[in-house]
Structure 1
Amino acid sequence: MHPAAPFRVTEVEAILAHLSVYPFMGFFAAGEAGLRVAHAPVVVRREGQGLTLDFHLSRNNALAATFAKGGRALAVSQGPDAYVSPDWYAAADQVPTWNYLTVEAEGEVTPLDDLGLVALLDDLSAQEEARLAPKAPWTRQKMSPGRFEAMLAGIQGFRLRPRRLEGTVKLSQNKAADERARVAAALGDHPIARAMGPGASD
Structure 2
Amino acid sequence: MRQNPSFAMTDVAELRRLIAQNPWVTLVSSTPEGLVASHYAVLLDDDRDDLTIVGHVGKPDDLIHGLGERELLVVVQGPHGYISPGWYGEVANVPTWNFVSAHLTGVPEILSPEENLRVLDRLVAHFESGREDPRLLWERPNDADFVRRLEKGTVGFRLTPTRVVAKRKLSQNKSPEVVDTIIMELSEGGSAPNPALAAEMARARDARVTPR
TM-score, normalised to structure 1, is: 0.88
Separation (CA, whole Å) in 1 of partners of 2:55 and 2:110: 10
1:60 paired residue number: 60
Q: 2:108 aligns to what SS in structure 1?
A: strand
TM-score, normalised to structure 2, is: 0.84
Separation (CA, whole Å) in 1 of partners of 2:155 and 2:127: 19
Is the 8 Å Cα contact of residues 57 and 64 (structure 1) preserved in structure 2? no
Cα shift readout 1:85-132 (whole Å, capped 9, x = no counterpart): 1111125111211101111101112211101111111111222223x1
What runs of 5+ residues in structure 2 fail to find an aligned partner?
Answer: 189-193
2:199 paired residue number: 194
Is the 8 Å Cα contact of residues 109 and 158 (structure 2) preserved in structure 1? yes
Q: 1:197 aligns to what SS in structure 2?
A: helix
1:165 to partner: Cα distance: 2.2
Separation (CA, whole Å) in 1 of partners of 2:186 and 2:155: 41
Separation (CA, whole Å) in 1 of partners of 2:96 and 2:120: 39
Is the 8 Å Cα contact of residues 68 and 107 (structure 2) preserved in structure 1? no
Structure 2 residue identity aligned to 1:155: T
CA gap of 1:69–1:89, structure 2 versus 1, over 3 A, is closer
Q: What are the within-5 Å matches in structure 2 for residues 139-158 of structure 1?
A: 139-142=136-139, 143-158=142-157
Separation (CA, whole Å) in 2 of partners of 1:129 and 1:12: 27
Compare 18-27 and 48-57 and name the one that shifted more. 48-57
2:162 paired residue number: 163
Separation (CA, whole Å) in 2 of partners of 1:117 and 1:49: 20
Matched, 1:111 2:114: no
Separation (CA, whole Å) in 1 of partners of 2:4 and 2:207: 14
Is the 8 Å Cα contact of residues 3 and 165 (structure 2) preserved in structure 1? no
1:187 to partner: Cα distance: 2.2
1:46 to partner: Cα distance: 6.0
1:73 paired residue number: 72
Cα shift readout 1:124-153 (whole Å, capped 9, x = no counterpart): 1222223x15x2433222213411111222
Aligned length: 199
Q: 1:128 aligns to what SS in structure 2?
A: helix
Separation (CA, whole Å) in 2 of partners of 1:9 and 1:79: 12
Compare 45-54 and 191-200 and name the one that shifted more. 45-54
The structure with more strand, counted as a fraction of residues: 1
Structure 2 residue identity aligned to 1:164: R
CA gap of 1:127–1:200, structure 2 versus 1, over 3 A, is farther
Is the 8 Å Cα contact of residues 79 and 200 (structure 2) preserved in structure 1? no
CA gap of 1:103–1:200, structure 2 versus 1, over 3 A, is farther
2:91 paired residue number: 92
Separation (CA, whole Å) in 2 of partners of 1:176 and 1:36: 41
Structure 1 residue identity aligned to 2:25: M
Is the 8 Å Cα contact of residues 8 and 167 (structure 1) preserved in structure 2? yes
